Every structure is written in C-alpha cells, then in structure tokens.
Amino acid sequence: MKNLFSSDFKLGILGGGQLGKMMLYDTRKFDIQTYVLDPSDVAPSRIACDHFEQGSLMDFDTVYNFGKQVDVLTFEIETVNIEALEKLEQEGVQVFPQPSVLRNIQDKGVQKEFYKDNEIPTATFEKYAFAKAIPASSRSYPYIWKSCQGGYDGKGVAVIRKAEDLETLPEVPCIAEDMIPFKNELAVIVVRNVSGDVKTYPVVEMEFHPEANQVEYVICPARIDEKVAQKARAIAEKVSKAFSHVGLLAVEMFQTEDDEVLVNEVAPRPHNSGHYSIEGAFTNQFEQHLRAILDLPLGKTDSKVASVMVNLVGAEGHTGNVVYENIAEIMAMDGVTPHIYGKKETRPFRKMGHVTIVDEDLTKARAVAQEVKKKIRVIAQ
C-alpha cells in the first residue's frame, strides 16, 4: 500500500463546494495532501485544502493538467469533463468513481437505459430529442419531464399536466417518465472500495419542499417496514454491482403504494441524503468515500443514534450577503449541530448549510427538526 498519510501522496478533488469542504474535514484528520479545482475563487473548499486552483471543470485541458499533478482523482460534482478523466486514467492516474461509471450516470437518458438493460426496477420512460417531440397521445397526464443533462435540486425537472406545459421547456434532450404514486422517497448509500468490498448504510427517508423540489428533511432510519428496508438495500446493492463503481453511490428510490421499490436516480459521490452520518453514524459518508477510493478497509455503517437532517436554504426574496438568523437559539437545543457551508452570498433556495438533530428517540428528533426549521432563517443583509 502507498504511504498515504503525512507523505507526498496527492489526492485531487474536482469541485470545491460544500461536499468537497466536508470531505476535507476527513483528509485533515488523516493528514492527506489535497488539491482542489473549482471555477469559483471563493469556493468553500479553498480554506481547507493544501493547493487550490481556479478553473473550469468542463474544460479538457484544465481538468487534464490538474489531474496530472495528483495520484488519485475524485469529484464532488458530476458535471466534469469525462474525456479528460478517461485520458488521465489511460495514463495511470487513478480516477474514482471511474469515468465509465460517470458515462452511465451523467446523462439521465443513458442512466435510465442502464437500469432497463440491467433489470433494475425503475419507472417506465421514453427518450426524446426535445420536449415538443413528445406526442400528446403517447402517455397519460400527469407525467414527469426531465432534461437528460444538467438537472439538480429541482432544476431540469417538471410535472407535465397538459400539452401546453411543454411549450416553456428548454429544447434539450429529455426523458418522459410515468409519475409514480408513492408512499415515500427513500435513499440508500452504497460504498465499494477498490478491492471490491461493499457495504450499505441504513435506508433514509426524504421529505421534500413542495415548491422548490428540494429535500427539506432526511430521516434515519426511514419510518418503513423492515421488509421494505431490506428490499431497498438489496436493490441498492444490485445497482452498485451493475455499475461496479469505486467510492460512494447514493441510490434514490420510490416506495410505491404497494411497497415495490423503484430506482429514481443515482449520484456517484457523497450526497445530501448522507449528511446525517457526520453526527449519526459510526463512519460518516465522507470518511467512507476516502476509505473506498484509497482502498482502505471500509468503516462500520450502522447508526449510533437516530438522526434527522434539515437543509438550510436561502429564504425567498433574499439575494446578497448571507446572514444566519437564530443560530445561537438552535444550538441551545439538545442534539443540534449546524453546518455552515461557507457560501458568502445567498439566493432563494440555494443550499447554504444543514443542521443535524440526533436523539435516541426518532420522534423527538423529528419534532426538534421542525422547531429548527421554524427558528432559523437564511437571509441577506
């Protein structure tokens, strides 16, 4: 094994947002030398890495030249130049998760075809060159429209209730999929190291903001029947095996009214649905990702305590220099830990931080989370 700690070994991270910043908590713990590339000169990760470069994640030369400086390269965002990653991999740089995995995930149309080809349960769908090419007679309303590339946090997704709803959508490759009547939105994080060892985290339940289509609360463990939880973890493992990824894979799923579990989409990186693990699990997702890509033994994924995570997003009507109202008040509550991401400017629904609430009693943790949500406000000066 390479000497990873307090050495000349270099880990590169593409993307310097909050996920990169939280990963750097653990590189600091292990004294692993880190290089970060991000387009913004005020990226949250800048303060915590050993070497920071500003540049486009989609530019071939920028990504390639950055990657040539490091021993292992990972990413905290999927919108990166895959061709550069492939060339780096060919030239001996270890890239995890692998570019081949990213190829199957970056385009939602390709991702959905991958599920179909690998007999992974998912909603029925069709691919189209653009929204107006979807024939009105092809499916019943309502249904879901998704852009094949670039969508996140509710962007690039729309509910189509009538033909006219297609008129305002961008002219980009897209998919139309059945709208699934579901009881719960669930997620399972699967971790796989270079040696092929695999572990899953407990199933979490996600509650969404009705307007922004963003996760408001992540609840661990999910309040579901144990048989459904076992099914969800088994499907997540099947997805992981199909991709043969190295690192973390967050698998988002629907629990239908008749307790079937359907895969919605995946993310090959640390994920919002795993933030609870920083306080709530024996091994947090960021440390686990590092263990996996550096081929270290995987840590215990069990929860130490019940957890609820609340996303902190910019308040509607507020754009500008950020102010967090009532932080001290929520910190006075038992089991409450805020995480501030380091973004200096807020705007409506922008992810600015999260708060974890832990308690032996999940019902109490959820009640405290509701109070936290009421008290804290992310506004502009």
Binding site: which residues? 108, 146, 177-180, 185, 264-265
Give CA separation, 340 vs 52, 116, 324, in Å.
20, 39, 9
**8 A C-beta contact, residue 53 and residue 45:** no
Q: Which residue do the tokens 């339940």 mark?
A: 205
User: Residue 313 gets which letter from DSSP?
Assistant: E
Find the helix packing angle between 99-106 and 108-117, rounded to 10°: 100
Helix (H/G/I), strand (E/B), else coil: 327: helix
Binding site membership for ATP: which residues?
108, 146, 177-180, 185, 264-265
3-state secondary structure of 323: strand
Q: Which long-range contacts (CB under 8 A, 24 or more apart) does 96-100 make?
A: 96/72, 96/194, 96/245, 96/246, 96/247, 96/292, 96/293, 97/245, 97/246, 97/247, 97/249, 97/268, 97/269, 97/293, 98/244, 98/245, 98/246
List the one residue out of 208, 153, 155, 201 whose CA is nearest residue 184.
208
SS3 357: strand
Question: Which CA distances in Å does 71 have to 28, 29, 365?
Answer: 17, 19, 42
